[in-house]
Chain A
Amino acid sequence: MTRLTRRLVCIAAAAALSACSSLGGGDYGFSDYSLVRVRPVSVGDHSMIVTPPRPWNRHRPIFFEDIRQVEDWTQNGPLLDGISFVTGLKNGKSLIRQRRSANQQVPLFRSNMTPPEIAAMIESLYRVRGGAVDFRTLSLKPRPFLGTNGFQLDYEHLDDDELWRRGRVVGTVINGQLYMILLDAAKSHYFDATLRDFEAIVASARLKA
């Protein structure tokens, strides 16, 4: 079930108990998000440390759905923008949990992947799981990251809610493990509004010694 769905069911159940209950928790209630303050914070499996230039909202990991190496932040909600961290993804692992029996699979990461292959893996993620009906790579170029020769990928995609979204990924493979920081946001307004934060976060990123 989606988060929106779960929320709705809870509210409805609560509503059943009283003739007329108030709508939702408003500003205070159980939330999937916790605050990320403006100071160095370790992300994902905690092997990488970044410092955001302003507060962000961190999505709490959902045990069965999320994988340890991936962490998601948002400013305005995941439909509008999001920064994701991939830390130390190992050979043969997937970016997202999936059933082996699913007809359409997101490819697994391999340590010998070149940047075009990693870009293709990200494209598959959006097409197979993200509901993207169109995906365009805008550019792929070398970019230093975490002290190594990494890459920067820029892309955009049209999703099944008919909204175009834009993305930028900065990544590298260290000791056969994948490290990436990814920004994905609505092309109208939201990508530009969060790009500076993304660049600042990338600039601040370092591996725990």
Chain B
Amino acid sequence: MLKRGLPAAVAACVALSGCVQTRQFADLQFTPPSGDYKLLVLRPDVTVGSITTGGMVQPRADWTDQARASIIAALKAQQAARGGNVTIVERRNQLPGVGEQELADVERLNFAVDQSIVEHKYLGNTLPTKRRIGLDWTLGEDAVRLGQKTGYDYALFMHAEDEVASGGRIALGVLGLAGCFIGFCAPNVGGQQQLDYASLVDLHTGEVVWFNVVTAGSQIPGIKFGDLRTPEGAAQMVERLLGRMKPGKAIREQQKLQAQERR
């Protein structure tokens, strides 16, 4: 729900020369999943397009298929390295035991929750009751029910916010991650401010336990952050988004203490 004038303002202000940054928030008690866990990745959608000289992005079905395949492979590999079991659900009717409407409802609530996290954690519009307590948002009972029905431990939602492309709307799915990461959506003047995020929900409690935002503003085409169509590029993106999952604050302090004791 962003106003039309925003893309201009944003584009005019983004004068970066290629910068990728991430910022993670986690539950204080968060430990990145490891060992034998089951992860559900919901409807990641990757679209890759080429930039015409006019600055238009033209979706390319063949590149999209390549990138989608690479990302999914990278996700699986990355999670396998952690010891987990990943299932990627691309369409709403692909989750056995769960109706499309039920899944849609969880996604819609998650969308509102994620928007709230971005607003109140990342964009500085802090809620005083949530200061210094890490990540304190939940999807509630519906997510727990989803976990019970499907047997998954975690659910990963991936989102992209593309002000320019969607005319000021926040879009769902991992679209455009590809586009802007690899500089494809970077025309000569200014760039698209891309705000992509991933949220990890613990399906035993329904809580959002980890959240990561990646922004990539690239001005000059040719600055590549790794071509998503290639396995290497996809792995790099996945690693950036998910790989460096840090434990939550309380756990980190515990680990620090343990490290100190050993000395």
Contact = CB atoms under 8 A, between A and B. Distances in A.
A8 to B, nearest CB: 6
Interface stretch (B41-49, B108-116, B147-155, B221-229): B108-116
B121 interface: yes
User: B21, B127, B131, B139: which has the most chain A beta carbons within 10 Å?
Assistant: B127
A163 to B, nearest CB: 5
Interface string B116-142: 101111111111110110000111111
Nearest to A32: B125
A85 interface: no
Q: Is the interface of A mostly helix, strand, loop or mixed?
A: loop
Contact of B23 (A22, A74, A80): A22
Interface string A53-80: 0011100000000000000001111011
Interface in B149-170: 163
Interface string B197-233: 0000000001000000101010000000000000000
Contacts of B142: 188-189
Interface stretch (B2-10, B73-81, B88-96, B255-263): B2-10
B15 interface: yes
B126 A31 contact: yes
Contact of B128 (A3, A5, A7, A57): A57
B15 A163 contact: no
A16 interface: yes
Given A4-B123, A189-B142, A35 B129 contact: yes
A4 B2 contact: yes
Contacts of B56: none
Contacts, number: 151
Given A30-B124, A77-B119, A9 B129 contact: no
Given A20-B19, A57-B128, A57-B129, A11 B2 contact: no
A24 B124 contact: yes
Nearest to B10: A12
Chain B interface size band reads: 35 or more
Given A8-B123, A11-B123, A161-B111, A34 B128 contact: yes
A194 to B, nearest CB: 12
B213 A188 contact: no
Contacts of A135: none
Given A8-B193, A34-B128, A79-B112, A19 B19 contact: yes
Contact of B217 (A5, A15, A35): A15
A165 to B, nearest CB: 9
A23 B140 contact: no
Given A20-B21, A27-B132, A7 B13 contact: no
A8 B163 contact: yes
A16 B11 CA distance: 10
B129 A7 contact: no
B16 A15 contact: yes
Given A28-B124, A31-B128, 13 more contacts: A3-B125, A7-B124, A15-B14, A20-B21, A23-B122, A23-B213, A25-B124, A31-B124, A31-B127, A33-B128, A34-B128, A77-B116, A188-B140
13 contacts: A5-B2, A5-B3, A8-B10, A8-B123, A12-B9, A12-B14, A19-B16, A20-B21, A24-B124, A163-B109, A163-B112, A186-B109, A188-B105
Instruction: Enumerate the 4 nearest inter-chain pairs by beta-carbon distance, A residue then B residue, closest first.
Output: A189-B140, A25-B124, A29-B124, A77-B116
